[in-house]
Amino acid sequence: MGIPVAISYRPPQTQTKGPMKRTLLALACLSAVSIAAMAADDKTKPDNTATNERDRSGETQTSGDQSNSPADLKITQAIRQALMKDSELSTTAKNIKVITSNGHVTLRGPVKTAQEKAKIDQLAKSAAGGAHIDDQLDVKGSN
């Protein structure tokens, strides 16, 4: 008699691992190249650079200047609610900055038309109950 020999069984492997790895590697390389190309194309400065510099100067009112006194908060809230209720105003106009400090209201930000600017000024004056309104809104036109 002979020596018993152990036979091992190995199931056949599919041949998809190699091509799948190459496909995934190719897709990853294409994605990296696409992202790099998009990043290289966008070398323009944002259009609000001058505005940001102006706001950092300390001479203009920003949202950080909003007073926390109950009277000032009430004025800001009343103006903001009047803006939100007006269905004729654009989303841009409704997102202006309303800053109240010591009863003095500053309106800042872009609006699309001169009519929106006038409408916001009128709404702010009626909602502010006699507070001084400083209208610094910029008419940007529709893009």
- pLDDT, tens digit, 9 for 90 and up, residues 130-140: 888 999 998 98
The predicted pLDDT at position 130 comes to 81
- pLDDT, tens digit, 9 for 90 and up, residues 55-113: 555 566 666 677 788 988 999 999 999 999 999 999 999 999 998 988 899 999 899 99
DSSP-derived letter for residue 128 is: T
CA distance 103 to 120: 18
CA distance 131 to 89: 22
Please report how many Cα atoms fall inside a 13 Å half-sphere around the Cα of residue 108, on the Cβ side: 16
Q: Is residue 44's pLDDT more than 90? A: no
- Read out DSSP for 48-106? THHHHHHHHTSSS--GGG---SHHHHHHHHHHHHHHHH-TTS-HHHHT-EEEEETTEEE
Are 108 and 77 contacting, i.e. CB atoms less than 8 angstroms apart? no
The SS3 call for residue 119 is helix
Q: Is residue 54's pLDDT more than 60? A: no
The predicted pLDDT at position 143 comes to 46
pLDDT band at 114 (very low <50, low <70, confident <90, very high): very high
For the question of whether the overall pTM of this predicted structure is more than 0.75, the answer is no
The predicted pLDDT at position 65 comes to 72
- Read out DSSP for 31-46? HHHHHHHHHHH--SPP
- Read out DSSP for 43-59? -SPPTTHHHHHHHHTSS
CA distance 128 to 72: 9
Q: What is the pLDDT averaged over residues 31-51?
A: 66
For residues 7 and 98, the model is more confident at 98
